[in-house]
Amino acid sequence: MIPASFDYVRPQSLEDALAQLGEHGDDARVLAGGHSLLPVMKARLADPGVLVDIAGIDGLSGISESEDGITIGAMTTHAEIEASASVQGRCRSLAEAAAAIGDVQVRNRGTLGGSLAHADPAADYPAVILAANAEITVAGADGERVIAADDFFTGTYETALGAGEIITSVRIRASAARGSSAYLKAAQQASGFAVCGVAARIALDADGAVERIRVGVTGVAESAYRATSVEDALTGAAPSAESIRKAAATAGEGVDALDDFYAGADFRRHLAGVYAARAIGKAWIRAAGE
């Protein structure tokens, strides 16, 4: 399929990119890896008049590590995230989510910022971003602001990004000393997207009780969400396989689940419980052993 015709610009600075977006308004779209935007344009579900390619802008790509966390540029590809020792060491679930995305071609071109901005309800990163309590830095005409993960995903293909704003980076705090994370998904066999994906991030205290836990779920509802009932049930107590299974079973409870020919709503809610138990169990074992 062929998209409608469009103009293409490749600014060399963030300021120029923001100016292009400001000048063309609703008619312009940011182009990152193009692995979500171009299929949508080919299907004629979007027909922007101008694509503002941000690949030429210095400083939007790469992973930097500090004592308390990592900062990942928006243009960093899934493959770079998957292969990064910093990401594997500081937020293992993010490396696991990156590795689970599509195929090699998609992972070599697709970017973290593009995936977050696209906000596909079946995308992998949103579960991890929620579980990791990440901070998303965006630049716009009025300067820079930071959006908390909990506020970022507002609906199906909808985010808290304002008109003309560009995601520049994502900041994730390192796992606690006795902490770790895990991401697991049930993939749609044809597309690889998540029918259900769960990220868990856990921090244990000196006695092995759960000090903090966050659980993000993607693929199940119209937008990724936190399974707060699971988090509440496990916080403060020493976990066991049984307590994790029991708490995790509520991960899909009361959720207005997606329902399609591939997976019905009840099945998706069931998967949320099963994958929450598996992801939490994996994160817990890693945290206790690391």
Ligand X SMILES: Cc1cc2nc3c(=O)[nH]c(=O)nc-3n(C[C@H](O)[C@H](O)[C@H](O)COP(=O)(O)OP(=O)(O)OC[C@H]3O[C@@H](n4cnc5c(N)ncnc54)[C@H](O)[C@@H]3O)c2cc1C
- Describe the crossing of helices 92-99 and 265-289 by its angle, rounded to 10 degrees: 130
Contact of 10 with 53, CB cutoff 8 Å = yes
- Residue 102 CB, nearest distance to ligand X (Å)? 3
Residue 188 contacts residue 105 (beta carbons within 8 Å): no
Q: Does 210 bind ligand X (CB under 6 A)?
A: no
Per CB under 6 A, 162 contacts ligand X = no
25 binds ligand X (CB under 6 A): no
Q: Would you count residue 113 as binding ligand X (CB under 6 A)?
A: yes
Interaction of residue 49 with ligand X, rule CB under 6 A: no
Is 32 or 258 the residue whose CB approaches ligand X more closely? 32
Check residue 196 for interaction with ligand X (CB under 6 A): no
What minimum distance in Å lies between the beta carbon of 169 and ligand X? 9
Q: Considering the complex, what minimum distance in angstroms separates the CB of residue 155 from ligand X?
A: 14
Q: Does 166 bind ligand X (CB under 6 A)?
A: yes
Minimum Å gap between C-beta 268 and ligand X is: 16
What's 13's DSSP letter? S
Residues 83/58, Cβ–Cβ less than 8 Å: no
Q: Is 32 in the site for ligand X (CB under 6 A)?
A: yes
Provide the strand spans (E) within 117-249.
135-140, 143-148, 153-155, 158-159, 166-173, 179-187, 194-204, 210-218, 225-226
* Radius of gyration, CA atoms only, the chain: 19
Q: Does 274 bind ligand X (CB under 6 A)?
A: no
**φ, ψ for residue 283 (rounded to 5)?**
-65, -40
Residue 21 tokens, joined? 């977006």
Q: Cα angle at 88 between 87 and 92, to 5 degrees?
A: 95
Task: Confirm or reject binding of residue 39 to ligand X (CB under 6 A).
Answer: yes
Nearest-approach distance from CB 215 to ligand X, in angstroms? 18
**Which residues contact ligand X by CB under 6 A?**
29-37, 39, 74, 101-102, 106, 110-111, 113-115, 117-118, 120, 123-124, 161, 166-167, 191-193
